[in-house]
Structure formats: C-alpha cells, structure tokens
Amino acid sequence: MFEAKLQQGVIFKKIVDAIKDLVKSVNIDASTSGLSMQAMDSAHVALVSLKLNENGFKDYRCDRPITLGLSIENLSKILKCAGNDDTITLQTDEEEPSSLKFFFENQQASKISEFSLNLMSLDSESLGIPDTDYSSVIQMSSAEFSRICKELSSISETVEIETSKESVKFSVQGDIGAGSITVKNNQSDKDVDRVDLQIDQPVKLTFALRYLNMFNKAVSLSSTVSLNMSEENPLMVEYKIDDLGSLRFYLAPKISD
Amino acid sequence: IELQKKLREFFPKI
C-alpha cells in the first residue's frame, strides 16, 4: 500500500512543469523515507534529481518500496485537471502496480477528482552522484539568475561562469559581440538583491545556456537558487522546496578543446 | 571550440 497526500498540490504541478522539457519519462521511487526521482535528458548532458521527504506530506504511507514509471507528458495531462489550491493524493495498493491513482480535492472538499494513470516499466539508468564538497557556492535570487541566463543566451549559446572571493562573472562571446554580467556579494535584506558567495576555491567553468534556461523553469518553486561548482565537475543547480525537499539539476561542463 | 561533456564522464553508472 502506498499513499502520499500533498496539502499544497500546486507544488507537484510546479515540479512536473519544471522538468517536462528536460525529461520524457521518469521512475519515481517511493520508500518509507519519501519519494525520489533521478532522470537524464536524452543527450545525457543534464540530470534532474528530486527528493521529497515523507514528513513534508499531510499523509504518507509506504509499506514497501515501489517504483512508479511515469510518462511526464501523460502525468502533465492529468495534473492539468488539478486546481492550484487542491490537495493531491497519489495512491496504489498493488505491490507491482500497473497504474497509479490520483485524487484532487478542493479546499471545501466539495469537488473530488479521481484519475488513474497507466504506469510504464522503464529501465533505470541511474548514475551514482557523489556527495561533493563544492569549492564555489552561489546563493542568489532564482528570478535574477533566470534573467541573467535569458539575457546572455541572446548573445551566445555558451556561458562562462568565473567565481572569485567577492564576485561571480557570467561571460558570453558570440557572432554579434561579447558581454559579461558581474554579480557581487550583497547582504541586502531584499531577497531579489541578496547574493551569498562561499568561494573556497575560485572556478572557471563553461556551460550550455539552453540547459540553464530549462532548469530555470523551476523558479516558481523557490525564490532562491544555489549554484554549486568545483573545477572539472558538473554544475549543480538546487531549488529547495520549503518543508518538503529539493529539486536539483546537474549539468556537464563544456571543455574547450 | 568547447566540447560538451557527458555526465557519465563524471558520475559512475549504478
């Protein structure tokens, strides 16, 4: 028996919206500790990792671990039927479920929708992501980072991110010319302006902006985003989801030949 | 030119 009831169903809708351009089908692993999901894009350049802790759910029960293979496109269609204020409940009482039930309830419990989504059996191609002590960590407004990526992607497909003790510099070079945006440490009390840099070792890494622009579809999940980098390592972009868990994106760097 | 690396060059398959 597996049942997970999320009070703010809109969070689940936002998560699916944030990943639907990146991955086509995912395995959600349910266990006693909560839900986790890891999936790569078709080019195996980017990876999304979702962790939702059981204590962030209104009700949560998972008698034994199960894997739920879902088509993101079909999941999206079902979630379109959930209101932003609805609670969302996922449920199955089979051990090897062939489908997953969804219940959407409005606040007054006066409207209850029930859907059943057929499940897929997907071969899990999981990667072992080591816990990394990143040498450069940037916490900043997710809206601001999203804006920087959008603006720079009009000049080049590739951005170089260079950190130093007191600032982070995003640089682009394209056919029309070049540009850079430098953001300094800023302890402002205004969220949108605050920038926290923890730079143990400066890094200079290059990434494809189109993936960063896809990651930034997660801005609605958190007002802040953290960029985690170490030399010769994939970038990890993390959106913490209040009281529930986190949505992380990993992106392999581009290495100048 | 910059070559786009793949994640499996950094993370082992499990």
From B9's Cα to the closest Cα of chain A, the distance in A is 9
Task: Give Cβ neighbours of residue A62 (< 8 Å, ≥ 6 apart).
Answer: A1, A2, A3, A4, A30, A31, A32, A54
pLDDT of residue A191: 84
Pick from B4, B9, B12: CB nearest A208: B4
pLDDT of residue A229: 98
Instruction: Please give chain A's pLDDT, 257 residues, in tens.
Output: 999 999 999 999 999 999 999 999 999 999 999 999 999 999 999 999 999 999 999 999 999 999 999 999 999 999 999 999 999 999 999 888 999 999 999 999 999 999 999 999 998 779 999 999 999 999 999 999 999 999 999 999 999 999 999 999 999 999 999 999 999 999 998 888 999 999 999 999 999 999 999 999 999 999 999 999 999 999 999 999 999 999 999 999 999 87
ipTM greater than 0.85, yes or no?
Answer: yes
pLDDT of residue A256: 84
Contact A44 B11 (CB under 8 A): no
pLDDT of residue A79: 97
Contact B14 A208 (CB under 8 A): no
Q: What 3-state class would DSSP assign to A17?
A: helix
pLDDT of residue A125: 79
Residue closest to A71 by CA, chosen among A121, A106, A30, A35: A121
Pick from A45, A128, A208: CB nearest B11: A128
CB A46 within 8 A of CB A40: yes
